[in-house]
Amino acid sequence: MNRPDAGKAPIEEVNAPIRESAEDALSARSADIPEKTVGNITHADPVMVCRGVDVFYGDKQAIFGVDLDVGRHQVISMIGPSGCGKSTFLRCLNRMNDTIDIARVNGNIELDGKNIYASDVDVVPLRARVGMVFQKPNPFPKSIYENVAYGPRIHGLAKDKVELEEIVHTSLEKAGLLGEVKDRMDQPGTGLSGGQQQRLCIARAIAVSPEIILMDEPCSALDPIATAKIEDLIDELKQNYTIAIVTHSMQQAARVSQRTAYFHLGYLVEVDETDKIFTNPSHKLTEDYITGRFG
């Protein structure tokens, strides 16, 4: 969920590959990248279906023709070198790229059969259904209670104070944080530790009953103990939510996900079961990345 005062994101904050020309893109593809994604882009029970997704920042293309299903109640990891487009693609899934003036998304992304880029789609309820947890914890400058209550309140999910309190407590419990904060709910969320702040942001996302939770490197700013708590939480949350996570840690991808997608220079090179990606990848680019030859 966005901050109440969120505005347009400056383009320099976007981790996106920049192509100097169409000729550069074509030569890069012809050199290494397969004509179509290797592995299995489909899923037997998809909650989200992406086909032919292109992303442009002005006249520079960052994502090229991505086809991918996101499976229901499953964790899919997106890996690849810095600037390969994985975070840019993740942001397409709840239209966060709309906050960038020069961004343009082509193709089709369906959530439960409905194109989320259709003209009649309101992004506010969309971002409730497809929540996002960012790389750096970003609690609102409010109390712990109000951080979690904010979303249900503006979306009208609670009919009274008792129901709102139940949503807040249940969300904090699902995020594995209630036991640590139940006696200080009126204290600022910004006063929590980094790992606790990240779990508070997860509770905030859960509070509006999403179908999908997007996580953009949620552990990169955390210590190993906090990271382990978040990873355990992800494993629990997949029982009720679909999770798509961008990570630079291949060990983390191997631990938390059932499917893994490898991005390279804006292309989705390979996607398959996580065990297969890490033990027997089908494409040389994937193998070179996971064995540390580049990236």
Pairing of strands 46-57, 60-71: antiparallel
Q: For residue 125, what are its two tokens?
A: 């309820």
Please give the domain boundaries of the chain with CATH numbers for all domains: 11-290 (3.40.50.300)
Q: What is the pLDDT of residue 125?
A: 94
Please report, in tens digits, the pLDDT of each residue of the chain (295 residues total): 444 444 444 433 444 444 344 444 444 454 689 999 999 999 999 999 999 999 999 999 999 999 999 999 999 999 999 999 999 999 999 999 999 999 999 999 999 999 999 999 999 999 999 999 999 999 999 999 999 999 999 999 999 999 999 999 999 999 999 999 999 999 999 999 999 999 999 999 999 999 999 999 999 989 999 999 999 999 999 999 999 999 999 999 999 999 999 999 999 999 999 999 999 999 999 999 999 887 5
Burial class (CB in 10 A: 0-12, 13-18, 19+), 53: buried
Q: What is the pLDDT of residue 6?
A: 43
Q: What is the pLDDT of residue 292?
A: 87
Q: What is the pLDDT of residue 31?
A: 62
Q: What is the pLDDT of residue 221?
A: 87
DSSP per residue over 82-134, as a string? Answer: TTSSHHHHHHHTTTGGGGSTTEEEEEEEEETTEETTSTT--HHHHHHHEEEE-
Report how far residue 138's alpha carbon sits from residue 135's, in angstroms, rounded to the nearest whole number. 9
* Residue (of 278, 210, 288) closest to 243 by Cα position: 210
Q: What is the pLDDT of residue 201?
A: 97
Q: What is the pLDDT of residue 25?
A: 43
Angle (nearest 5°) at CA 100 between 206 and 247:
50
Report how far residue 262's alpha carbon sits from residue 249's, in angstroms, rounded to the nearest whole number. 12
